[in-house]
Structure 1
């Protein structure tokens, strides 16, 4: 099971890295084209926007596992350990319910947009809308793997040492 988690984390990181690197490359090429050669591509803004949305949705689960999401820790820190643990499990349940709802709504959104085209590229709007269900599904998978460690507060901000020390 730990090997599966490791591969999912690596795949998730690669997807986010690809999306952000692609944004950098196409925007940089467009700037060079515009100011260096007086010509730019109309589709770059649209594609960059869609890739940034993909990167944000897919990066949310990684941010959770690395302790980089915004959190209010004052209340759990003031509570006795048993109540703090119960509160954290409640937070996990709320996060799971919210992201499961977002996954379901994201699938509906993809279905709604599938027969419509984007303005610049002319592709189905359902394709960029896939960022929502893909990102929410990755978040849910990360949450399932990470919930117990989240509740026990067995992580530090930064890279997850359990994943990083594994050699696959």
Structure 2
């Protein structure tokens, strides 16, 4: 299971690297063309925008794994250990429900937009809107993978977690 999780995280990370690289190349080539020839690619801004949307939704799960999203822990810190575990369990349950709802909403949006096309690339907007259910689906998987350790100990996994440490963030900061 650990190898499968490691492969999943690595695949997610490489997908982000490829999208960021493509976005950088597109924007860089467009800037170069604009200054060298006074013309730019008419599709470059649109492609970069859609890649940024995909990056945001696809990367949210990796950030969740390491506790990188905003968290207010005052209530949790004020509770005894058992209360903290219950609160974290309820938080995970609430997030799973919300993420599942957003997958459903994202699928509905993508389905509604299947006949409209983007102005420059002429792609169906459903490809752009598909970032939402894919991203929230990835959030569900990442949350399920870190949930047991988070609920029981309040710690997050590191991206390079090889099982040799407690999974806490460097410096003891856990979000």
Q: Please give the TM-score of this superposition, normalised by the length of structure 2.
A: 0.88
Tell me how large the CA RMSD over aligned residues is. 1.7
The reply on whether 1:17 has 2:17 as its aligned counterpart is yes
1: distance between equivalents of 2:164 and 2:125? Answer: 36
Aligned counterparts of 2:3 and 2:159: Cα–Cα separation in 1: 17
| Bigger mean CA deviation after superposition, 52-61 or 13-22 | 13-22
Residue ranges of structure 1 left out of the alignment (5+ in a row) = none
Deviations 1:7-63 (A, max 9, x none): 111111111111111111100110010012211011111111111111110111100
Structure-2 separation of matches of 1:164 and 1:53 = 35
Partner of 2:84: 84
Contact 2:20 2:55 in 1 (8 A): yes
- What pairs up with 1:50-69 in 2 under 5 angstroms? 50-69=50-69
Work out the CA distance in 1 between the residues paired with 2:163 and 2:35. Answer: 43
Displacement after TM superposition at 1:162 (Å): 3.1
Q: TM-score, normalised by structure 1?
A: 0.91
Contact map agreement 1:16 1:58 (CA 8 A) in 2: yes
- 2:125 corresponds to: 125
Unpaired stretches in structure 2, ≥5 consecutive residues? 166-175
What is the CA-CA distance between 1:120 and the residue it aligns to? 0.9
Are residue 161 (structure 1) and residue 161 (structure 2) matched? yes
